[in-house]
A and B are shown apart, each in its own frame.
Chain A
C-alpha cells in the first residue's frame, strides 16, 4: 500500500495551545492568570502517499485537535505542516481553499455533521460548487449519483434528508461529501465510534475499498485499538499531546515498546471469554493538559518508571515510594483524617501512631499489592521520616526527605527523545533512550533496570 518515499504530509514540532477562561478582564487583573491547555505539544509525523496512518489515544490526548490542525481547521500555535512540500501553515485564504480540495475530513458524529436542512443532493453538490468541479449543475448531480453508488447507496437517496437516514447511511453520505472534491488525503476522525458494531464493519470495509479505488491517503483517528489494527499500515500512539510510539501496525501490536502502549494494548477487552487477561494496570487518571507532568509525561502513571542507578532492590518498591513522594507533593495525604479515624476507633492517636497508620496504608499495603518482597529497612526509615514531617505539618520537608534519599528519576527531569527500537518502531521512553544508551555505565544500568522490571 505504501507509495514513494517522499512524504505526502510532513508535520514537525506541531503545537496547539488553547487559552482557558480567557477574557480581557482576566488579562488585566494581576491576581488572575490565563491558563493554557497544551492540547498538542510538538508532534512530528510523516505520512507517505497512499498509506493509512492510525492515530490512537485516549480521550483528551489531543488526537482530534491534531487532525484539525493538519487540515488547518485550527491554526497551530507553533510548528510546521507541509503538504507535498508546500507550507500549509503559511497558506492564505485562496491557497487554503485550494488545499481543501486535496484534503478533506470525515467527522465522528454523522448526526451532527450533516446539515439537517439539506437534502443529500444539496449536501453533495455544495462542495463541488465551491471548488468548481463539474461544468453544469446537471453534471454535478450526475457526479453525486456516482458518488452515492460508490458509497453503496443508490440515486434514490438524492432527495432524502438526514433525518430519514440511519446512522450508517448518514456516515456514508458524509464520506461521499468528503470524496466529492476528489481529495488525495482524508482525515477520518472516529468515523465509526457512533455506530453499532455491525454497521462499523461496513463503514470500515467501505473506507478500505475507496482507498484502493481512489488511491487515498488516510489519517484514521480513533480510540479503538481493535479497529486500528484492522485498518492501518502504521500507527501512532498519542499521550497528552505527544506521540509516544510510532511504527508499522504489526510491529507495534506484537512488540509494543512504550509502557503506555503496552498498558493500552493489554486493556482491550478480548472477545474470547476463555482467554485469561494479562492486564497492566495504570495508576491514576490521565493528568490534565493544563499543567502536564515534567519530563516524560507518562511518568506519574508508568509501571516501568526508571529508578536511579543507586537503587539495588526491586523496581516496584522504588516505584511505590516514588509515588508516595508524588502524593505528598500534591497534598493528597491527609494525616488529620487518619487521626480522626483512629480517635473514632478508640485507638492511640499520637503522632507516632498516625505515622504508623500512614505507613501501613500509604506504603506497606501498596508495596504488598505490587510485589511480595519487603521494603528494605533503609527505605522504610526514610518513608517513616518523611511521613513524620508531614504529620507535624512540614509538607515541603517531607517531600525533600524522599528527594534527598534518591527518590528522583530521569523520567521526571528529562524529556525522552524519539529512539528507534530493534523492532523498527520509534518510541519516546527513557528505557530506550539514546542518552541512556550513550553512557557506557548507563548501559549496564539499563540492563539492570530491565531485569528488575521483567
Chain B
C-alpha cells in the first residue's frame, strides 16, 4: 500500500504505539488503517489509529459522525467487507494477531471472546425469532448447549440485564419489547458467552434519557462484576464522562487525544477536543456561551498532508499544514496529537 502522506512513516507509527503502550493490554490496536476502495478514490475512514484496552476498563471512543469510530470498532472483529479493507496495522487480542485469524479461530473470537452490540436494536434483532432463541444462539453455537438449556440460560441472562419477569418474556418477539428492553436483550445476547471484550456501538443513541441512564449503569455494573473490558463507541461526550475510565477522541480517521477521562475533560489539550467540549450545552449551567468550531471536517478521500484539523483550528500555524502530528505525552496518562503541547 502506498501512503499518500509522506510525513507518516513506519518509524513514527512505531514510536506512537510504543508511547501509549501499557502492561498487559487485553486488546492493542497499532496503526490501524481501514480504507474503502471507491470509484471516487481511496476513502481513508480509519487512517492510523492506535489504542489499548485493559481488563476491567471502559474505553470511550468518541467522535462526530464520519470520524471513523464505527469502522474502527468493526475492524476489531474483522467485520469489514469489500469495498472496505484493513490495509495496514495490527490488532492484537491477548497477544494474538486478529488480522491473521481465519475460519474456526475467527469464529471463536466473534461472540465468544469479543462481542458487539449495535446501535439500532430494533434492526439488529431478528424479527422472526423470539428473544430467548436469539439470546441463546451464541450458546448453542459456541458452547454446544441444547435448545432447552440455552433457553434457561437466556432467562438468567435476561434477569441479569434487568428485563422484568424474564420467564414470561423469553418467548416474546422483538416487536413486543420497547427500545430500552431491546437494547437490554442485545446486551444479554452479547454477554451470553461471557466475552472478555464488549464492543458497544452507540448503545444509548436511540433511547430516551431516562432509559439511557439505566443502560449506562447496567454496562458499568456488568463491566465491574464480570471483569470484562468495554469499548464504548459514542458521539456523546456526556455519556463518556458518565461511564468511561479512559477516552480516545477521534477526528477524521485519527485519534487526536487519548488518556484518562478526568484528565482529558478537565484539561483538554487538543484544539478539537477543546472545541468539542466548548460546544456541549451544560445542563447544570444557567448561562453559558457556546462556541461553535466552524467549518467542516475534511473529505476522507482527500485528507490534507499535515494535521487533519488544521483547516478549522484556531491555533494553527503554517507548520501545521506540513507536519503530521503524532500522539505525544502531555501529562500523566494523557496524550495529544498536536504540535502545541498546550495550545
A residues near B (Cβ < 8 Å) are: 58-59, 166, 168, 196-202, 204-205, 223, 225-227, 229-230, 250, 253-254, 263-275, 277, 279, 281-282, 284-286, 332-334, 337-338, 341
Report whether B262 and A264 are in contact in the complex, using a CB–CB cutoff of 8 Å: no
Q: Which residue of A lies closest to B216 (CB)?
A: A269
Instruction: Give the shortest distance, in Å, between B186 (CB) and chain A (any CB).
Output: 16
CA A62 to CA B168, docked complex, whole Å: 30
Given contacts A269-B236, A285-B180, contact A226 B213 (CB under 8 A): no
Known: A200-B279, A230-B288. A264 touches B209 (CB 8 A): yes
Which B positions have Cβ atoms within 8 angstroms of A?
A: 64-65, 164-165, 167-168, 178-181, 208-214, 216-217, 235-242, 244, 261-262, 265-266, 275-277, 279-286, 288, 290-294, 296
- Write out the residue numbers on chain B whose beta carbons fall within 8 Å of the beta carbon of A199: 292
- Are A223 and B293 in touch, CB under 8 angstroms? no
- Quick check: A269 and B212 within 8 Å, CB to CB? yes
Q: Complex formed: what's the CA distance from A223 to B291 in Å? A: 22
A204/B241 in contact, CB under 8 A = no
Sort A-B residue pairs by CB-CB distance and give the 8 closest, nearest first.
Answer: A269-B238, A337-B167, A226-B281, A58-B208, A201-B279, A196-B64, A226-B283, A267-B213
Nearest-neighbor residue (CB-CB) of A205 within chain B:
B292
Chain B residues with Cβ under 8 A from A200's Cβ? Answer: 279
Contacts of B277 in A (CB 8 A): 271
Q: Is the CB of B181 within 8 A of A197?
A: no
Among A197, A264, A274, A337, the residue within 8 A (CB) of B168 is A337
The answer for the CA separation of A201 and B285 in the assembled complex, in Å, is 16
Q: Check B283 against A334 for contact (C-beta < 8 Å).
A: no
Given contacts A264-B209, A332-B165, contact A269 B281 (CB under 8 A): no
Chain A residues within an 8 Å CB radius of B167? 334, 337-338, 341
Of B217, B244, B283, which one neighbours A229 at CB under 8 angstroms?
A: B283
> What residues of chain B lie closer than 8 Å to A341, measured between beta carbons?
167
| A269→B292 contact, CB < 8 A | no
**Bound CA–CA A281/B180 (angstroms):** 14
Q: Which of A202, A265, A269 has the most CB atoms of chain B within a 10 A radius of its CB?
A: A269
B291 to chain A, nearest CB (A): 7
* A263 CA to B290 CA, complexed, in Å: 26
Shortest CB distance B234–A (Å) = 10
Q: Which residues of B contact A205 (CB under 8 A)?
A: 290, 292
- Cα of A277 to Cα of B209 in the assembled complex, Å: 14
| B213 and A279 within 8 A (CB) | yes
For the complex, give the distance between the alpha carbons of A266 and B242 in Å.
Answer: 12
A367: min CB distance to chain B, Å? 16
B-side contacts of A168, CB under 8 Å: 296
Please name all residues of chain A whose beta carbon is closer than 8 Å to the beta carbon of B238 when the two chains form the complex.
226, 268-271
Selected from B210, B217, B242, B262, the residue in CB contact (under 8 A) with A270 is: B242
Do the beta carbons of B293 and A227 come within 8 Å of each other? Answer: no
Q: B261, A273: Cβ atoms under 8 Å? A: yes
Q: In the assembled complex, which residues on chain A have CB atoms less than 8 Å from the CB atom of B261? A: 273
List residues of chain B with CB within 8 A of the CB of A269: 209, 212-213, 216, 236, 238-239, 241-242
State A341–B166 Cα separation when bound (angstroms).
Answer: 12
In the bound assembly, the distance between CA atoms of A268 and B238 in angstroms comes to 8
Report chain B residues within 8 Å CB of A285.
178, 180-181, 211
Chain A contacts for B244, CB-based, 8 A: 273
Partner of B282, one of A58, A226, A266, A274: A226
Tell me which residues across on chain B come within 8 A of A198, comparing CB atoms: 64, 275-276, 279, 292-293
By a CB distance below 8 angstroms, the chain B residues around A267 are 209-210, 212-213
| Chain A residues, CB < 8 A from B216 | 269
Q: How far does the alpha carbon of A168 sit from the alpha carbon of B293 in the complex, in Å?
A: 13
* Of the residues A268, A281, A286, A333, contact of B283 by C-beta under 8 Å: A268
Q: Report B-chain residues with C-beta under 8 Å of the C-beta of A250.
A: 286
Q: Are B292 and A225 in contact (CB under 8 A)?
A: no
Q: In the complex, how many angstroms separate the beta carbon of B243 from the nearest chain A beta carbon?
A: 8
Q: Can you pick out 11 interface pairs between chain A and chain B where the beta carbons lie within 8 Å of each other?
A: A197-B279, A197-B280, A225-B209, A229-B286, A266-B213, A269-B209, A269-B213, A269-B216, A270-B282, A274-B265, A277-B242
Give A341 to B288 CA distance when docked, in angstroms: 56
Q: Min CB distance, A77 to chain B, in Å?
A: 26
> Does A223 contact B276, Cβ atoms closer than 8 Å?
no
Q: How far is the CA of A264 from the CA of B235 in the complex (A)?
A: 21
Among A196, A263, A279, which residue has its beta carbon within 8 angstroms of that of B65? Answer: A196
**A281 and B237 within 8 A (CB):** no
Q: Shortest Cβ distance from B78 into chain A, in angstroms?
A: 28
Question: Measured between alpha carbons, how far is A225 from B284 in the docked complex, in Å?
Answer: 10
Measured between alpha carbons, how far is A226 from B238 in the docked complex, in Å?
10
Most buried by A among B168, B265, B281: B281
Asked if residues B165 and A226 are in contact (CB atoms below 8 Å), the reply is: no
Query: When chains A and B are docked, how far (Å) is the Cα of A266 from the Cα of B167?
Result: 32
- A273 to B164 alpha-carbon distance, docked (Å): 30
Select one of B65, B210, B285 contacting A282, CB under 8 A. B210
Using A166-B296, A201-B292, A285-B211 as known contacts, say yes or no to A226 and B180 having CB atoms under 8 A apart: no
In the complex formed, the residue of A with least CB distance to B67 is A196
Chain A residues whose CB sits within 8 angstroms of the CB of B242 once the complex forms: 269-270, 273, 277
Which A residues are CB-close (under 8 A) to B286?
Answer: 229, 250, 253-254
Query: Among the listed A202, A263, A334, A338, which residue makes an inter-chain contact with B210, where contact means beta carbons less than 8 Å apart?
Result: A263
Residue of A204, A223, A229, A337 touching B209 (CB-CB under 8 A): A223
20 extra interchain contacts, Cβ-Cβ under 8 A, other than A58-B209, A268-B209, A271-B280?
Answer: A58-B210, A168-B296, A201-B279, A201-B281, A202-B294, A226-B283, A229-B281, A253-B286, A264-B210, A268-B238, A269-B213, A270-B282, A271-B241, A273-B240, A273-B265, A274-B262, A275-B284, A279-B217, A281-B213, A281-B214
The interface residues of chain A lying within 8 Å CB-to-CB of B292 are 198-199, 201-202, 205
Q: Complex: how many Å from CA A197 to CA B278?
A: 10
